[in-house]
Structure 1
Amino acid sequence: MTSAVDGQEPSGLAARLAAIDERIAAAARAAGRDPEELTRIVVTKFHPASLVRDLHAIGVRAVGENRQQELSAKQAELAALDLAWHFIGQGQTNKAAAIRRSADVVHSVDRDRFADALHRAADGDDVLDVLVQVNLTDDPGRGGVAPADAVGLVEHVLALPSLRLRGVMAVAPLDEEPAAAFARLRDVSDVVRATAPDATWISAGMTGDFAEAIAAGATHLRIGSAITGPRPDRG
């Protein structure tokens, strides 16, 4: 039996998970895709490790974290569980070693220096799955490499033997229709795969826009509060 999470019964957590999975499956079928092609990552930012444990108990195997400190703490506490930990936040070079120790996948490689820092943190022959983050906005201050520069970063990552390039990631801009933004991401993915044919993952789509992401070819969806419930008050 699972425990209550943040004052909510686990049955509510399971119901929300099932509802999102039904919506994901419907969106996949509408796009002519097999729902089994999709990986649903539950983003647990600001929630306690107990919630991740409850998610695991109802079948979740992929979780995402935005902050290195939370990733490291939760992964250490729950190391005995068969979970894949996805780091989806902005990466800092001085935290790359800590991120690498705890993450199975890093979605946010957006510059050569961060890729290099992750590579230097390799332990022996281990290989880390990474995605190149693409900035779909006109603001260079946002996370991600400009679409025109994606191939250059991809080539840099491919030269680092401890990193395995899996594909691309992006967040849809707030001031643009998600379908148009994700279509541009798919174009970047196509160009990247001309250089790296195995880089087939597209990490895109959150609660409000995962249907458009699926239609554009997304393989990995990042869903948070629609499953976990409201984030706890951080005081």
Structure 2
Amino acid sequence: MDDQLAERLADVDARIADAARAANRDPAGITRIVVTKFHPASLVEALYALGVRDVGENRQQELTSKTAEVGSLDGLSWHFIGQAQSNKARAVRDAASVVHSVDRGRIAGALDAAGQPQSGVLDVLVQVNLTDDPGRGGVSPDGVVGLAEHVAGLAGLRLRGVMAVAPLDEEPARAFERLAAASARVRTVVADSDWISAGMTADFPEAISMGATHLRIGSAITGPRPTRG
């Protein structure tokens, strides 16, 4: 298992490096987040042993249970990438190093209010909806600046940039180009909020070509997700 995991990780890292060079970018400027959804906490430990220092979860329950089970691993960052709910803000804040999915002021406010004196400042990204469906997660492109201004005004949060998922019915590069435009608008609010969280297993080369700084990659590294009973 560990040999196969190491091979998949090395393969993805080589592909990231190739895509970065093709885009005239330094691979060192790209953070690879391994999404461990539905996998046991032992996989996080195995990934850590292979040098992985950024892992992602999209369910609060899994995030909370895995951080508790794994404990404190030096230098490991937990990225919450799922839809945030205000009633779970404290649990997310207690476990996450970064929240990628702030898509409305209420969530931002709840995460800010959930901070404890020992919590420090929480890194967050504004999630942008790149589809025409208002029911999808993310703020509309027209609302990005307003939400960024709201987040920037909260003392317990640090605005780092933007996040999005490419629509299934569109060329990923075109969608990520719109995300790059949203990133530029956010940087008019907070100049150094230059993180762009975009790209998953199927489309990370296109995300890199459009400036992604953080990739969220699951099955290409972890293998198939376990069946949920």
TM interval, shorter chain, is over 0.9
Counterparts of 2:195 and 2:212 in 1: how far apart (Å)? 7
CA RMSD after TM alignment: 0.6
**Residue 94 (1) aligns with residue 99 (2):** no
SS at match of 1:195: coil
Alpha-carbon deviation of 1:155? 0.4
**Residue 116 (1) aligns with residue 109 (2):** yes
Counterparts of 1:55 and 1:188 in 2: how far apart (Å)? 32
Larger mean CA deviation between 73-82 and 155-164 belongs to 73-82
**Residue 63 (1) aligns with residue 59 (2):** no
Alpha-carbon deviation of 1:190? 0.6
Counterparts of 1:190 and 1:79 in 2: how far apart (Å)? 37
Which residue does the alignment assign to 1:47? 39
Alpha-carbon deviation of 1:80? 2.2
Alpha-carbon deviation of 1:81? 1.0
1:179 aligns with one of 157, 173, 176: 173
**Residue 36 (1) aligns with residue 28 (2):** yes
Counterparts of 1:145 and 1:182 in 2: how far apart (Å)? 15
Counterparts of 2:71 and 2:27 in 1: how far apart (Å)? 28
Question: Which ranges of structure 2 fall in alignment gaps of 5 or more residues?
Answer: none
Alpha-carbon deviation of 1:35? 0.1
2:77 aligns with one of 84, 96, 121: 84
Counterparts of 1:80 and 1:149 in 2: how far apart (Å)? 37
Counterparts of 2:184 and 2:72 in 1: how far apart (Å)? 38
Counterparts of 1:80 and 1:140 in 2: how far apart (Å)? 38
**Residue 223 (1) aligns with residue 223 (2):** no
Larger mean CA deviation between 44-53 and 78-87 belongs to 78-87
Counterparts of 1:128 and 1:78 in 2: how far apart (Å)? 21
Counterparts of 2:79 and 2:70 in 1: how far apart (Å)? 14
Which residue does the alignment assign to 1:189? 183
Counterparts of 1:205 and 1:80 in 2: how far apart (Å)? 28
Counterparts of 1:54 and 1:46 in 2: how far apart (Å)? 15
SS at match of 1:141: coil
Which residue does the alignment assign to 2:206? 212
Residue type of the partner of 1:40? R
Alpha-carbon deviation of 1:196? 1.0
Residue by residue over 1:74-132, the C-alpha shift from the partner in whole angstroms, topping out at 9 and shown as x without a partner, is 01111221210000000000000000000000000000000000000011161000000
Counterparts of 1:58 and 1:77 in 2: how far apart (Å)? 19
Residue type of the partner of 2:200? M
Alpha-carbon deviation of 1:169? 0.2
Alpha-carbon deviation of 1:140? 0.5
Question: Which ranges of structure 1 fall in alignment gaps of 5 or more residues?
Answer: 1-8
SS at match of 2:162: strand
SS at match of 2:196: strand
**Residue 145 (1) aligns with residue 159 (2):** no
Residue by residue over 1:117-166, the C-alpha shift from the partner in whole angstroms, topping out at 9 and shown as x without a partner, is 00000111610000000000000000000000000000000110000000
Residue type of the partner of 1:19? D
Using the size of structure 2 for normalisation, the TM-score is: 0.98
